[in-house]
Amino acid sequence: MVGVRCCFKLLYAIVVMILLHMNNPCIGCSEREKQALLALKQGLMGDDSYRLLSWGREARNKDCCEWDGVYCSNQTGHVVKLDLGFQFLQGKISPKLIELQHLEYLDLSGNNFSRSQIPDFIGSLSNLRYLDLSNANFGGLIPYQLGNLRNLHYLDLKFQDYLSGSIYAKNLYWLPNLSRLKYLDLSVVNLSDVVGWLEAVIMLPKLTNLTLYGCNLPPPVISSVSLLNSSKSLVHVDLYKNNLNSSIFQWLPNLVYLDLSETKLSGRIPESIGQMSNLETIYLSMNSFEGVISETNFSKLSKLRILDLSSNSLVLNFSFDWVPPFQLRQIRLGSCKMGPYFPKWLRTQKSYDWLDISNAGISDTIPTWFGDLRNKVEYMDLSHNRLRGNLISELASYYLNVSWNQLEGPIPSIQSDVSILDLSNNKFSGSASFLCTSTTEESYLTYLDLSSNHVSGELPDCWIHFHKLVFLDLSNNSLSGKIPTTMGHLIRIGTLNLNNNRFVGELPSQLKNCINLTLVDVGENKLSGLIPEWLGENLLNLAIVILRSNQFYRSIPPQLCHLTQLQILDLSMNNISGTIPKCLNTWTTLAQKGHSSASIEHSNIFQWGGLFYDLPYDDEASLTWKGVRSKYKSILGLVKSIDLSSNMLSGEIPTEITYLVGLVSLNLSRNRLTGQIPSRIGNLQELDSLDLSRNQINGRIPISISWINRIGYLDLSQNNLSGKIPIGNQLQTIDFAYGGNPLLCGEPLPRTCSEEEKGPGQSVLAL
Ligand X SMILES: *[C@@H]1O[C@H](CO)[C@@H](O)[C@H](O)[C@H]1NC(C)=O
Interface ranges with ligand X (CB under 6 A): 1, 25, 74, 90, 112, 114, 137, 144, 147-148, 165, 168, 174, 177, 183, 190, 192-193, 208-209, 216, 219, 221, 225-226, 229, 235-236, 245-247, 256-257, 269, 271, 274, 292-294, 296-297, 315, 317, 319, 358, 383-384, 401, 403-404, 420, 422, 447, 452, 476, 491-492, 516, 622
Calculate the dihedral angle through the C-alpha atoms of 388, 393, 398, 400, rounding to the nearest 10 degrees. Answer: 10
Neighbours of 140 (CB within 10 A): 13
The nearer residue to ligand X, 198 or 556, going by C-beta atoms, is 198
Cis preceding linkage at 748, omega within 30: yes
What gap in Å lies between CA 609 and CA 18, rounded to an integer?
Answer: 20
Neighbours of 482 (CB within 10 A): 15
Q: How far is the CB of 726 from ligand X (least distance, A)?
A: 38
The helix or strand, by DSSP H or E, that contains position 758, with its residue range, turns out to be helix 755-758
Q: How far is the CB of 583 from ligand X (least distance, A)?
A: 26
Q: How far is the CB of 102 from ligand X (least distance, A)?
A: 13
Q: How far is the CB of 359 from ligand X (least distance, A)?
A: 6
Q: What is the largest CA-CA distance in the chain?
A: 110
The nearer residue to ligand X, 282 or 561, going by C-beta atoms, is 282
Q: How far is the CB of 337 from ligand X (least distance, A)?
A: 9
Q: Answer for the pair 613, 11: CB distance below 8 angstroms, yes or no.
A: yes
Neighbours of 85 (CB within 10 A): 20
The nearer residue to ligand X, 27 or 734, going by C-beta atoms, is 27
Point out which residues pair with 380 in neighbouring strands. 355, 400
Q: How far is the CB of 413 from ligand X (least distance, A)?
A: 20
Exposure string of 416-447, with b = 16+ CB inside 10 Å and e = fewer, is ebbbbbbbbbbebeeebbbbbeeeeeebbbbb
* HSE toward the beta carbon, residue 343, CA cutoff 13 A: 26
The nearer residue to ligand X, 174 or 552, going by C-beta atoms, is 174
Query: Smallest Cα–Cα separation from 257: which of 303, 222, 296?
Result: 303
Q: How far is the CB of 403 from ligand X (least distance, A)?
A: 5
The nearer residue to ligand X, 175 or 660, going by C-beta atoms, is 175
Strands 236-238 and 183-185: unpaired
Helix (H, G, I), strand (E, B), or coil: what is residue 355? strand
Query: Smallest Cα–Cα separation from 459: which of 438, 439, 440, 478?
Result: 478
The nearer residue to ligand X, 274 or 412, going by C-beta atoms, is 274
What gap in Å lies between CA 327 and CA 303, rounded to an integer?
Answer: 8
The nearer residue to ligand X, 625 or 738, going by C-beta atoms, is 625
The nearer residue to ligand X, 124 or 722, going by C-beta atoms, is 124
Q: Give how far Cα 653 sits from Cα of 245, 580, 636, 705, Å.
A: 61, 7, 26, 15
The nearer residue to ligand X, 257 or 342, going by C-beta atoms, is 257
The nearer residue to ligand X, 35 or 233, going by C-beta atoms, is 233
The nearer residue to ligand X, 297 or 730, going by C-beta atoms, is 297
Q: How far is the CB of 547 from ligand X (least distance, A)?
A: 17
What gap in Å lies between CA 420 and CA 379, rounded to an integer?
Answer: 9
Query: Smallest Cα–Cα separation from 497: which of 563, 430, 436, 448?
Result: 448
Q: How far is the CB of 162 from ligand X (least distance, A)?
A: 10
| Phi, psi angle pair for 738, to nearest 5° | -120, -5
Q: How far is the CB of 286 from ligand X (least distance, A)?
A: 14
The nearer residue to ligand X, 88 or 369, going by C-beta atoms, is 88
The nearer residue to ligand X, 303 or 492, going by C-beta atoms, is 492
The nearer residue to ligand X, 521 or 656, going by C-beta atoms, is 521
The nearer residue to ligand X, 59 or 225, going by C-beta atoms, is 225
Neighbours of 648 (CB within 10 A): 14
Q: Answer for the pair 202, 228: CB distance below 8 angstroms, yes or no.
A: no
Q: How far is the CB of 517 from ligand X (least distance, A)?
A: 10
The helix or strand, by DSSP H or E, that contains position 33, with its residue range, turns out to be helix 31-43
Q: How far is the CB of 594 from ligand X (least distance, A)?
A: 21
Residues in the chain: 767
Q: Answer for the pair 664, 689: CB distance below 8 angstroms, yes or no.
A: yes
The nearer residue to ligand X, 62 or 454, going by C-beta atoms, is 454
Q: How far is the CB of 626 from ligand X (least distance, A)?
A: 17
Q: Answer for the pair 535, 511: CB distance below 8 angstroms, yes or no.
A: no
Query: Smallest Cα–Cα separation from 5: which of 285, 247, 364?
Result: 285
Q: How far is the CB of 470 from ligand X (least distance, A)?
A: 7
Cis preceding linkage at 340, omega within 30: yes
User: How many helices and strands, by DSSP H and E, does the chain display?
Assistant: 7, 51
Q: DSSP letters along 520-567, please?
A: EE--SSEEEEEPPTHHHHH-TT--EEE--SSEEEEPPPGGGGG-TT--
* HSE toward the beta carbon, residue 756, CA cutoff 13 A: 2
Q: Which residues contact 432 (CB under 8 A, 6 or more apart)?
A: 411, 450, 455, 457, 458, 459, 460, 474, 479
Query: Smallest Cα–Cα separation from 421: which of 404, 397, 457?
Result: 397
Q: How far is the CB of 190 from ligand X (least distance, A)?
A: 4
Q: How far is the CB of 165 from ligand X (least distance, A)?
A: 3
Q: How far is the CB of 758 from ligand X (least distance, A)?
A: 47
Point out which residues pair with 183 in neighbouring strands. 154, 209
The nearer residue to ligand X, 34 or 468, going by C-beta atoms, is 468
Q: How far is the CB of 40 from ligand X (least distance, A)?
A: 18
The nearer residue to ligand X, 491 or 635, going by C-beta atoms, is 491
What gap in Å lies between CA 327 and CA 306, rounded to an integer?
Answer: 9
